[in-house]
Amino acid sequence: MEFSSFFDFKQKNKASLILGVAALIAGIAALIIFQASKSAEFTKQMIETYRQDIYVTAALIAGIVLCGAGLVFDLKIVKYFGFIAYLFAFLNYIVFEVDYLGSIFSSIDPTEITADFVAMLVLLAAATVLALISGITAAETAAAAKKEA
């Protein structure tokens, strides 16, 4: 594939590209916030007990790599695997913070919802949804290109 045909293809698939880049940026931001927020005392106790943070970190890294690969090689299946990795990270983050959520909702202690928790939920949800929509738009663009040919 020549560079001119590569850029022509990227021009036709612009929506999927923009959504994929947004999912990639949201995933990178979520990884940075997750690594930075692990310094809280409550989180340190959770890490020592469950080690659930490894699953969240690994899934975020896998999602970032798969989203990046999906953008470069424009493979629909890779974009869907990126979605699955982000979904796995989102669900494991909920499991990781289940004791924190329990202490908030049961009013055991005066714990409040923190900004990094909300930011993680928003970024993980955004990365998950954007990766899925990027894969869907790539599939629709590929189907339209096959119809034209």
Contacts of 128 (CB under 8 A, 6+ apart): 83, 86, 87, 90
**117 in Cβ contact with 97 (< 8 Å):** yes
Position 18 in a domain: no
Position 10 confidence tier, pLDDT thresholds 50, 70, 90: low
Percent of the chain with pLDDT over 70: 77
Backbone angles phi, psi at 56, to 5 degrees: -65, -45
Whether 110 is covered by a domain: the verdict is yes
Q: Which domain holds residue 60?
A: 41-140
User: What is the DSSP secondary structure assignment for residue 97, as one 8-state letter?
Assistant: T
24 belongs to a structural domain: no
The pair of three-digit structure tokens given for residue 94, joined into one six-digit string: 């909920």
Closest CA to 134 of 16, 13, 10: 16
This prediction has a pTM of 0.82
* Residue 70 forms part of a structural domain: yes
Is 30 inside a domain boundary? no
* Domain annotation covers residue 4: no
pLDDT bucket at 98, cuts 50 / 70 / 90: confident
* Structural domain total, the chain: 1
54: in domain? yes
